Amino acid sequence: MRHYYTADQIREAEAPLLASLADGALMRRAAHGLATAITRYLGGVSGRRVCAVVGSGDNGGDALWAATFLRRRGASATAVLLKPEHTHAKALAAFTASGGRIVESVPTATDLVIDGVVGISGSGSLRPDAAEVFEHVSAPIVAVDIPSGIDVHTGAADGPHVHAALTVTFGGLKPVHALGDCGRVELIDIGLDLPHSDVYELEAADVATRWPIPGPKDDKYTQGVTGILAGSAAYPGAAVLCTGAAVAATSGMVRYAGSAAQQVLSQWPEVIATPSVSTAGRVQAWVVGPGLGTDDTGAAALWFALETDLPVIVDADGLTILAAHPDLVVNRGAPTVLTPHAGEFERLAGSPPGDDRVGAARKLADSLGVTVLLKGNITVIAEPGGPVYLNSAGQSWAATAGSGDVLSGVIGALLAAGLPPGQAAACAAHVHARAANLSAADPGPRPAPTSASRILAHLRAAIASL
Would you list which residues are annotated within the binding site for (6S)-NADPHX?
58-62, 119-125, 145, 238, 291, 341, 405
3-state class (DSSP) for residue 21 = coil
Name every residue whose Cβ is closer than 8 Å to that of residue 283 and which is 6 or more positions away in sequence. 225, 226, 227, 255, 310, 416
201 close to 225: Cβ distance less than 8 angstroms = no
Q: Which of 5, 37, 393 is nearest to 185 (CA)?
A: 37
What does the alpha-carbon distance between residue 324 and residue 347 come to, in Å, rounded to a whole number?
8
Annotated binding site: 58-62, 115, 119-125, 145, 148, 238, 291, 341, 375-379, 404-405
Count CA atoms within 13 Å of residue 164 on its CB side: 30
Residue 287 Cα to chain centre, angstroms: 23
71 close to 77: Cβ distance less than 8 angstroms = yes
Torsion-angle region of residue 238: left (phi > 0), alpha (psi -120 to 50) or beta? Answer: alpha
Cα-Cα-Cα-Cα dihedral sign, residues 341, 347, 353, 359? negative
The residues facing 199 across adjacent strands are: 388
260 close to 239: Cβ distance less than 8 angstroms = yes
DSSP state of 153: T
Annotated binding site for K(+): 59, 115, 148
Q: Which of 105, 59, 54, 122 is nearest to 84 (CA)?
A: 54
58-72 helix and 89-97 helix, angle to the nearest 10 degrees? 20
3-state class (DSSP) for residue 156 = coil
Helices (H), 340-420: 342-349, 357-368, 403-416
Q: Kindly report the backbone phi and psi dihedral angles of residue 192, in degrees, each rounded to the nearest multiple of 5, phi listed first.
A: -75, 145
Q: Across 171-319, where does the E strand assignment appear?
A: 184-188, 199-201, 225-229, 253-257, 272-274, 285-288, 312-314
Measured in Å, how far apart are the chain's first and last C-alpha atoms? 14
Q: Which of 135, 64, 67, 65 is nearest to 106 (CA)?
A: 135
Annotated binding site for AMP: 375-379, 404
Name every residue whose Cβ is closer than 8 Å to that of residue 132 and which is 6 or more positions away in sequence. none
Element (H, E) at 76: strand 76-81
